[in-house]
Amino acid sequence: MTPADPYSAPRIGVFDSGLGGLSVLRAIRQRLPRARLLYVADSGHAPYGERGDDYVCERSLAIAAFLKSQGAQILVIACNTATAAAASSVRTRYPDGLIVGVEPGVKPAASLTRNGRVGVMATTGTLRSERFRLLALAHAAHIDLRLQPCPGLAAAIESGQVDAGPVRERVAASCAPLREQDVDTVVLGCTHYPFVAHHIQAEMGPNVQLVDTSEAVARRTESLCAALPPAPVDRSPAAAAPARLWTTGDARTLHDFVERWLDFDCLIETLDT
């Protein structure tokens, strides 16, 4: 988006059960460098993928309300589990709002596979959801879809030590069944997983394609900016304001993760909600 675009400074609220949604935040910043980004990592209540739907819905509504109070014009649910459990409730609460959810990239994977066998790595909560069942029915009825729940992997990534032994062991345990089933495409069905994509690729081998939907979510978010009221154009260098990040968990862990993975300025605070 060019600096002269009148929609150059939308206020976008993004949330996830923890650190995983930072992969989506990073993609949004790349497409919308002048956007005012607001992010909540609900690390104090993570992982959502091992919680019940009612709990996830309650947390999602609370965080959505906080982001709206901070001026968010667009809400991005940067969590596959939260999208499956709570997107409809969030849309009901904000019927006039602009809301973007995240779903496993089954559709692009179905077009990429060469041998017709696609693996989906995701949380148990995502894979058991009705939303995922309908997604698979709509886009993967003609291929062999192999579902691989990854219990504990998102929680291990939450530690911030993505190259540590426990993380790599969980990646290896999740990838082994898919490798044995000879899948040639793997969907990263949790926004945490792109941060260990290098380990997943190493386990699966160089000929297996990984599908991450962060860029697609960023494109969808960008397209919704056209529905916002025109904003005054600010061409000053200071227009690219730091992203504001909150966590319900440990601020130091979030800070260290941001330092490693994000290349833009962030202000980090704790949140009690």
Residue 225 annotated in active site: no
Q: Give the Å distances, CA to CA, from 66 to 15, 42, 60, 89, 262.
A: 10, 12, 10, 15, 23
- 3-class secondary structure for 103-168? CCCHHHHHHHCCCCEEEEEECHHHHCCHHHHHHHHHHCCCCEEEEEECCCHHHHHHCCCCCCHHHH
Active-site residue among 57, 175, 190, 225?
Answer: 190
Residue 190 annotated in active site: yes
Distance CA 95, CA 7 (A): 22
Q: Binding site: what residues are annotated?
A: 16-17, 48-49, 80-81, 191-192
Active-site residue among 57, 79, 225, 266?
Answer: 79
Distance CA 66, CA 60 (A): 10
Q: Binding site for substrate: what residues are annotated?
A: 16-17, 48-49, 80-81, 191-192
Distance CA 39, CA 13 (A): 6
Give the residue numbers marked as catalytic.
Answer: 79, 190
